[in-house]
Structure 1
Amino acid sequence: MNLLKNTQYLVMGVIGMGFVSPASSSADTLGPYISVMGGLNWVAPQNLNQNNLDFVEMQFNHPLNSGYATGLALGWRFPVGLRPEVELSYRKNTLTQFNNRVYEGGGSIPGKGKEEVTSLMANLWYDFLNLPAPFRRFTPYMGGGLGYSTVSISGLEAGGVHFGNTHRDNVSAYQLGAGVSFELTDQWSTSLDYRYLKTRDAHFGDIQGLPQGDVRTDYSAQSLMLGLHYWF
């Protein structure tokens, strides 16, 4: 109960900061910044492919139960609205079911396991600065990035059969996104944004419990994240 009350006081305090702090424009917040982000992560069902055959589909739990994303970013905003950024992020989801099991004659079965993706991205965002006076604290933005991701799956299990320990690969990736930030003070802002991340096929080689042959999959995820930014 005390935790709930403290959380309510904190939220009210942050909102209050936005109304009582001196009026300013987001265009005044230029230069370097650091960001921390966190939120929910949705992973699309993924096919595991071997010898040009999609032999099983991995289905994941709902994000509120298992999926989350976190991130840390360093960037710089220029007066023209361009904002280059370097971002390190981590995403995790747990499996709930295996579908379309070709090697077992089809059908579905409950499954276990987790998928983790760590990404290092070079992003470029465009901030829509100088909005009309009533919206001067808001800054919509959009953009994307290129980089590399480490995709790993571990603890795979179905019907009491274990499929090895951890399987991972390093692959190229890209992301697209859009969001809006809100200036709290001259040095602090918060944001809400959506991001879509996709990788090239990750190759895991032979997997215990399966026929020999390189097992591969591609990863795509959608994230909804809150951010907190400090401007130097």
Structure 2
Amino acid sequence: MKRQLFIFTIGLTSLHALADNASWYVKPYLGLSSISDQQGTLVQAANNTDITTNTDSGFTSGIALGYQYNAHYSAELGWEYRSSDTDSQLSANDNSYGGNYASSLFFLNGFYHLASSSDWTPYVGAGLAWVQEVDLDLELNGTEQSYSGDGDTGYQLMLGVDYAIGSQWQANAELRYLTIGDIDLQGEENATGELRGFDYDPMTLSVALKYRF
């Protein structure tokens, strides 16, 4: 991951002199996300148990550092946190476990901005995501069991629009689909075994402010 970040930074810097009207920007954002319900297997030494996890809509927040090469092309590197409340059931018992399904992710995205003669500039994008941590908590009667994983990679697709509100400021709205498949989550706090067969595929609608400098 460090090597990828280094290459990304060097690439942006080296293209600065070649870019037309180039600029860096920073983009903090907030959003709402929805994740599909999950079905997997809790693998333990004694036996295997099916698990079903129903997820509610959640929130996401993050920040990105980007580089606008010219009117059409930009790229950004960022980090985000996402969390959704969950209700999980194990086939081995009738208990309903509360908790949440959360993640900390880094991403590298590229964008193509469509030509526009107004303050509105639509764009499309695609990118790669790297999992710092994905975590599922199961809570019952005040006791929490935690399962987490890291190091997985996935991809995402974006559709959005920028609105100019000055020479340096832009408002932003974006719809994004992220998919990371077949995540294995290891037991941590008060938990044993491993959760297998889960995916991480949120759909996110976010709003942001972009400051160009």
Q: TM-score range by the shorter chain?
A: 0.7 to 0.9
Contact 2:65-2:77 within 8 A present in 1 as well: yes
Specify the alignment match of 2:163 in structure 1.
182
* Cα separation, partners in 2 of 1:114 and 1:33, compared to 1, 3 Å: same
Specify the alignment match of 2:54 in structure 1.
59
Shift of 1:48: 2.4
Aligned mate of 2:78, from 87, 106, 124: 87
* Cα separation, partners in 2 of 1:80 and 1:220, compared to 1, 3 Å: same
Specify the alignment match of 2:14 in structure 1.
none
Give distance in 2, aligned partners of 1:208 and 1:55: 20
**Corresponding position: 1:125 with 2:111:** yes
TM-score normalized by the length of structure 2: 0.77
3-state SS in 2 of match to 1:88? strand
The amino acid across from 2:202 in the alignment is A
Q: Deviations over 1:50-69 (max 9, x none)?
A: 46x881211122x3xxx101
Specify the alignment match of 1:43 in structure 2.
35
Give distance in 1, aligned partners of 2:188 and 2:50: 13
Correspondences of 1:1-232 after superposition (within 5 Å):
30-50=22-42, 55-61=50-56, 63=57, 67-79=58-70, 81-95=72-86, 97-98=87-88, 101-104=90-93, 110-129=96-115, 131-132=116-117, 136-149=118-131, 150-154=133-137, 156-158=138-140, 160=141, 162=143, 164-206=145-187, 214-216=194-196, 217-232=198-213
Shift of 1:213: 5.0
Give distance in 2, aligned partners of 1:205 and 1:214: 5
Give distance in 2, aligned partners of 1:103 and 1:207: 20
Count of matched residue pairs: 188
CA RMSD of aligned residues (A): 2.6
Q: Which runs of 5+ in 2 are unaligned?
A: 1-19
Higher helix share: 1
Shift of 1:144: 1.3
Shift of 1:207: 7.2
Shift of 1:202: 2.2
TM-score normalized by the length of structure 1: 0.71
Specify the alignment match of 1:17 in structure 2.
none
Contact 1:170-1:202 within 8 A present in 2 as well: no
Contact 1:151-1:170 within 8 A present in 2 as well: no
Higher strand share: 2
